[in-house]
Structure 1
Amino acid sequence: MSKIYVIHENDDWTSHLTSWLEELELPYELWHLDEGTIDLNSKPPEGIFYNRISASSHTRDHRFAPEFTEAVLAWLERHNRVVVNGSRALRLEVSKVNQYMALNSEGILTPKTVSAVGRKHILKAAEQLNESSFITKHNRAGKGQGVQLFHSLKALEEYVKGESYEEPVDGITLIQQYIQAPEPYIVRHEFIGGRFVYAVKVDTSEGFELCPADACTIDDSYCPTDKPEMAKGAKFQILDGYYNPLIKKYEKFLKENGIQVAGIEAIQDKEGNLYTYDVNTNTNYNSDAERLAGVYGMKELALYLNQELEKQAAVR
């Protein structure tokens, strides 16, 4: 029977989607791709395949989940299966360098960034960036991994040469212009089916780790979503009536890169310039914020996946 296949590596981030799939009585199957085998001589089952492998999989001891998923997606695409967030989406998910180049190709502003491999080259990259304040981040990251703010080259040198230095999983560290926002928040734009659904204001006053998933409460100190909060003062707040002309550029960017589902994060500086700095293709939603706003991303996602499944059935 044709069904919805959900490709993932984190059960905690999948439960909200499966709850909606079950409530809507939609046929589905989970493929947990931490490890396993794939017979490249066989044909994939009929259905549609939704990829939500995360760049942060290595933080859950799923080091090779993206590589294994890339092989599975190549197999699926070879057999012309419908893949939501296919191999190009995965490539952008695991590389911020690829994200920035693709965003820039659509005329979308990103912070000035220099990439480096090797500790001594991180210091050289900071000198080349020539900013009084800057941040480091991992190229393949997620959950704010490797994000550190520095106000001097000396402070960076102490970090790079010290015991607290975090080695990026792919070896690539980014040195990036620090965007000073007039107020401590960023805006995350959610898209399903390549179309804008809503924007959520995220309070950054407690740090850079901005995971919106309820499951982040398990071990993430900067994602306090374990209890309902009122809209005023909440860490995540869906913005009513939000619009920005950049949304059209985002939608074009998603279309050009074969991405159907994503959360795109941006920050505005004191001069009003909006910088886009992260694209999350395994996007999660905050249930407290959604409950207050009366919108449900995972429900919309389940409906979209079913729509694609019905389209496929009609063609066949």
Structure 2
Amino acid sequence: MSKIYVLHENNEWTVHLQNRLDELNYPYELWHLDEGSIDLSAEPPQGVFYNRMSASSHTRDHRFAPELAGAVITWLEYHGRKVINGSRALSLEISKVQQYLALEKAGIATPKTIAAVGKKHIIEAANSLGMSSFITKHNRAGKGQGVQLFHSVQALQDYLDGPDFDAPVDGITLIQQYIKATEPFIIRHEFIGGKFLYAVKVDTSEGFELCPADACAIGDMFCPTDETPTQPKAKFEILQNYRPAFIEQYEMFLNANAIQVAGIEAIQDADGNSYAYDVNTNTNYNSDAEAKAGQFAMRELAQYLKAELDKLAL
């Protein structure tokens, strides 16, 4: 029997989709790809394959999960299987360099960015950027990994020379223009089936870790899921009646890069210019924000996957 196959490496992030698939009684199977093997001479099963591989897998001791997922997806695509967020999506998930160039190609503004390998070249890049304030981040990241704000090149040098320097898993550090927003928030735009679903406003006043998933909660500091007397302000809020003109451009970008499910994060500067700075093809959703808005992306995603599965029988 054909099924929905979910390719992933993190049970905590996948359980919410699993619950929706169970609730709707859809046939599915989970493929946990932290390690394993592929018989290239064998044919894959029939079904729809949904890739949820994360760029931050190495932070959970799944260092080579994206490489294994890439091999599995190549095998699936070779045999003509339907893959949601296939090889192109995976390439963008694990490389912000590829993300930014693809966004720019689509006419979507991104912050000025220089990629560098080696501490000497990181400093040279910061000098070349020529900005009083800038940030660094990892090329292959997730959960805001490696994001640091600096107000001088000397501060960056001290960080590189100090014990807290966090080396990127692929060796590539990005030195990037700091976009100062008038208010401390970013907006994450969620898409399912390549179409805009909703946007969530994310409060960034407490830091750069912006994962909306309930599983990302760290002592209620970065991803709180409950409002309490000490947390009166929701960190995640789904916006109502929100559809700026650039949404169509985002959809065209996703279509051009064969990405069906994604969250695109953007920030607006004081002049009203919007910059996209992250494309997350392993997107997660915040349950409290969804409950307040009455919108449930994992249910929408499960229904989309079933619809794609049903098309195979036509």
C-alpha distance after superposition, 1:96-122 (max 9, x if no partner): 000000000010000000000001110
Deviation for aligned residue 1:233? 2.0
Deviation for aligned residue 1:86? 0.0
RMSD over equivalenced CA pairs, Å: 1.4
Q: How does 1:1-316 map to 2 (within 5 A)?
A: 1-217=1-217, 221-225=221-225, 227-228=226-227, 233-314=233-314
SS in 2 for 1:160: helix
Q: Is the 8 A contact 1:238 1:289 kept in 2?
A: yes
C-alpha distance after superposition, 1:234-289 (max 9, x if no partner): 10000001011110010000000000000000000001100000000010000000
SS in 1 for 2:279: strand
Residue identity matched to 2:183? E
SS in 2 for 1:272: coil
Structure-2 change in CA distance of 1:15 and 1:229 (3 Å):
farther
SS in 2 for 1:244: coil
Structure-2 change in CA distance of 1:218 and 1:151 (3 Å):
closer
Q: Is the 8 A contact 2:200 2:236 kept in 1?
A: yes
Structure-2 change in CA distance of 1:296 and 1:43 (3 Å):
same
TM-score normalized by structure 1? 0.97
Q: Distance in 2 between matches of 1:154 and 1:242?
A: 41
Q: Distance in 2 between matches of 1:220 and 1:167?
A: 26
Q: Distance in 2 between matches of 1:280 and 1:14?
A: 15
Deviation for aligned residue 1:217? 1.7
How many residue pairs end up in the alignment? 313
Residue identity matched to 1:102? A
Residue identity matched to 1:177? Q
Deviation for aligned residue 1:165? 0.3
Q: Distance in 2 between matches of 1:168 and 1:174?
A: 10
Q: Is the 8 A contact 2:6 2:31 kept in 1?
A: yes
Q: Is the 8 A contact 1:228 1:288 kept in 2?
A: no
Q: Is the 8 A contact 1:144 1:208 kept in 2?
A: yes
Deviation for aligned residue 1:221? 4.0
Residue identity matched to 2:294? G
Q: Distance in 1 between matches of 2:133 and 2:235?
A: 25
Q: Which 10-residue stretch deviates more, 209-218 or 246-255?
A: 209-218
Structure-2 change in CA distance of 1:220 and 1:112 (3 Å):
farther
Q: Distance in 2 between matches of 1:205 and 1:83?
A: 37
Q: Distance in 1 between matches of 2:227 and 2:313?
A: 40
Q: Distance in 1 between matches of 2:198 and 2:243?
A: 9
Q: Distance in 2 between matches of 1:44 and 1:176?
A: 42
C-alpha distance after superposition, 1:133-166 (max 9, x if no partner): 0000000000110000000011000001111000
Structure-2 change in CA distance of 1:229 and 1:28 (3 Å):
farther
Residue identity matched to 1:64? F
Q: Distance in 2 between matches of 1:287 and 1:189?
A: 16
Q: Distance in 2 between matches of 1:244 and 1:166?
A: 36
Q: Is the 8 A contact 1:229 1:288 kept in 2?
A: no
Unaligned 5+ segments in structure 2 are none
SS in 2 for 1:169: coil
Deviation for aligned residue 1:232? 7.4
Q: Distance in 2 between matches of 1:220 and 1:267?
A: 23
Q: Is the 8 A contact 2:227 2:233 kept in 1?
A: no
Deviation for aligned residue 1:5? 0.1
Residue identity matched to 1:164? D
SS in 2 for 1:189: strand
SS in 2 for 1:135: strand
Structure-2 change in CA distance of 1:214 and 1:23 (3 Å):
same
